[in-house]
């Protein structure tokens, strides 16, 4: 009786091994790019801080990580697209082809100049005003204790919550945003007198929630400055705003609200 013997396996040549390895490597690289692109588009992304408007919380050149899964809440620091008229024209950091590809998939931080970063002060339906008898910003008549994050000079002098007086109610689907460096931040306060064709005066001061890229939750570079960005405790004391929120903003502001 003859035995069945397995056919001898054909050995691959060096060239065939190389081709097989390159194919597997290509699949791994393409898969990694797809995963990174999906994460960048729907989960998280890095941004470079372009200005001093959020000092000392965020410094120029800081790299922050932004998550895109949660909805904005009072006190959070958020990245958002320019609603129109908020940004001065500036030149973006130029990268080479490899750098642009790495930025696209989220390995390098976004260098686009069409985004801003500010703190959420008012949600739809909130009444935000400046200021009470002690010079504090109030949200729904509750004063904010902002000393933990407002800009402080090297001499230890902290900026006032706002030199612009205003009283507004945030409309539905919009946010009222302010920088932590109040004397050097062109934020919602500065657009309360803006006039746009077909729009209500000052409507441009309230950023559409659809323009929010996400919440900045950590500084990751430089390593010496890495930290988490948490919501200051003062915002936990704020009562709910008007429900339903008005469809148009309610604005009382003087001529100085155009910084």
| Residues catalogued as catalytic | 53, 118
Q: How confident is the model at residue 13 (pLDDT cuts 50, 70, 90)?
A: confident
Total length of the chain: 259
Q: Tell me the whole-structure pTM to 2 decimals.
A: 0.79
pLDDT tens digits for range 54-89 = 999 999 999 999 998 889 999 999 999 998 889 875
Please say if the pLDDT value at position 239 is more than 50: yes
- Percentage of the chain modeled with pLDDT above 70: 74
> So what's the pLDDT on residue 34?
45
Please say if the pLDDT value at position 38 is more than 60: no
Q: Strand ranges (DSSP E) for the chain? A: 44-48, 63-67, 77-81, 115-122, 127-130, 138-139, 142-143, 166-169, 174-178, 207-208, 212-221, 227-228, 250-253
Domains and CATH numbers, the chain: 17-253 (2.10.109.10)
- CB atoms inside a 10 Å sphere around CB 139: 24
Task: Tokens 């009072």: give the residue.
Answer: 74
Least confident of 27-41, 109-123, 222-236: 27-41
> So what's the pLDDT on residue 236?
97
């Amino acid at each position: 009786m003859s035995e069945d013997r397995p056919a001898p396996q054909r050995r691959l040549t060096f060239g065939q091994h190389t081709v097989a390895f390159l194919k597997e490597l290509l699949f791994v690289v393409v898969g990694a790019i797809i995963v990174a692109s999906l994460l960048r588009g729907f989960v998280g992304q890095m941004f470079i801080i372009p200005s001093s408007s959020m000092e000392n919380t965020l410094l120029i050149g800081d790299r922050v990580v932004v998550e895109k899964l949660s909805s904005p809440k009072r006190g959070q620091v958020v990245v958002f697209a320019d609603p129109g008229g908020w940004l001065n024209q500036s030149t973006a950091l130029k990268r080479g082809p490899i750098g642009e590809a790495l930025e696209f998939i989220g390995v390098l931080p976004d260098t686009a100049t069409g985004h801003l970063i500010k703190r959420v002060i008012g949600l739809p339906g909130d009444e935000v005003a400046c200021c009470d008898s002690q010079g504090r910003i109030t949200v729904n008549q509750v004063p904010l204790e902002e000393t933990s994050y407002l800009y402080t000079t090297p001499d230890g002098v902290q900026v006032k919550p706002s030199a612009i007086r205003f009283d507004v109610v945030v409309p539905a689907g919009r946010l009222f945003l302010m920088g932590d460096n109040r004397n050097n931040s062109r934020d919602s306060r500065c657009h309360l007198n803006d006039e746009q064709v077909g729009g209500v005066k000052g409507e441009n001061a309230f950023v559409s929630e659809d323009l929010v890229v996400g919440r900045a939750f950590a500084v990751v570079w430089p390593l010496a400055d890495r930290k988490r960005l948490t919501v200051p405790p003062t915002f936990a004391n704020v009562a709910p705003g008007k429900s339903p929120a008005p469809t148009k903003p309610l604005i009382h502001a003087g001529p100085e609200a155009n910084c």
